[in-house]
Amino acid sequence: MALAEDVIAPAFAVERGTSRDIPSAVVRIEETRRSIVRPLFIASTAFYVLGLIVLAYFPDVAGFKITGSINVAYVLALAQFVMTFAVAYIYSRRANRFIDPLVAETLAAITKALVPGVGR
């Protein structure tokens, strides 16, 4: 939470009279981000480790020909690219839906609190 601790908290410190108080809106943003990132990280890491396990401990499965010179190992390697793009797409969609509205709301509150005459 470097942004929250280094930029936003000092800005609110003037208003609240404290030195390191992190606004609850910023904490909500971080909690929402974590709730999106953690499952995606766990799923992608599990998929990667599964591929490593198949390649290391089941070479017969990894060498199984699917068609022509394409085998399971090749498909697993290409599936990592698919997983990467899937994780990026899912994060982007969820961030737009859940995080961005919280950020806009927090930014409006900060602007209102720090800039005289804005939003009053």
What ranges do the domains of the chain cover?
2-114
The runs of H, that is alpha helices, within the chain are 2-3, 9-16, 24-57, 59-62, 72-94, 100-114
Provide the pLDDT for residue 115.
81
Provide the pLDDT for residue 19.
44
Model confidence, pTM: 0.73
Give the Cα separation of 87 and 75 in Å (integer): 18
Give the Cα separation of 6 and 24 in Å (integer): 15
Give the Cα separation of 89 and 95 in Å (integer): 10
Task: Quick: pLDDT tens for 80-99.
Answer: 999 999 999 999 999 999 99
